[in-house]
Structure 1
Amino acid sequence: MPPQKLDGLRKVISEQMQDNWQPRTGVAIILDHLAPILPKSELPLLFNFFLSKGLGDRSQEVCSLMRQAAMTTINVHGKVWHEGLHIQLKQARKKPQMR
């Protein structure tokens, strides 16, 4: 194990952790492919995830793929679930930004 790096006050300098974003792209791709077979009962949970975490991911690549998955889900289920989606979007607008 290499020695820890210290600053001028002899405090340990924490090295910035690398973002392991690749597994999150896999999650987004899977969600995109699951959209056509997703039961309506799971939509509130999925959109809660999209609105609270997925669409605000720190990786631009992940964010883009999550947006695609959300749009696919809306295109597949939007006509039958538009009221529930509208309610979740209104609630999300009222919450402060997570970033």
Structure 2
Amino acid sequence: MESDGTFEYVLAGADTSDLTEGRYYVIVQNPGCNGFDVWVSNPDPLTISGNGICSVVLGNLGAADAAGALINALDSPNVDDIYAKFSFVIDESWIWI
């Protein structure tokens, strides 16, 4: 992340070629001076933990609810990490002839 808060990450076609239609949520976390305050504590089922927050199993939630739970954790007063959030949609491909 740059000093002005901007960042860039380019997804290649190979990164998105296997994604199915639907809405996807992206949360980019930047740690504070003491490192990440929210982290993945278990990959299966996907669980997050953090400083002063209750662990949350994201793997049992739908995409929007999982994104919301992560944002709630990042908004905790015990967390000094900053984040940016956005979403994108994969639609059905069309070829017009």
Q: In which range does the TM-score fall when normalised by the shorter chain?
A: under 0.3
Query: Which protein has the larger Cα radius of gyration, Structure 1 or Structure 2?
Result: 1
Q: Determine which structure has greater relative contact order: mean sequence separation of CA pairs < 8 Å that are 6+ residues apart, divided by chain length.
A: 2
What TM-score do you get using the length of structure 1 for normalisation?
0.27
Higher strand share: 2
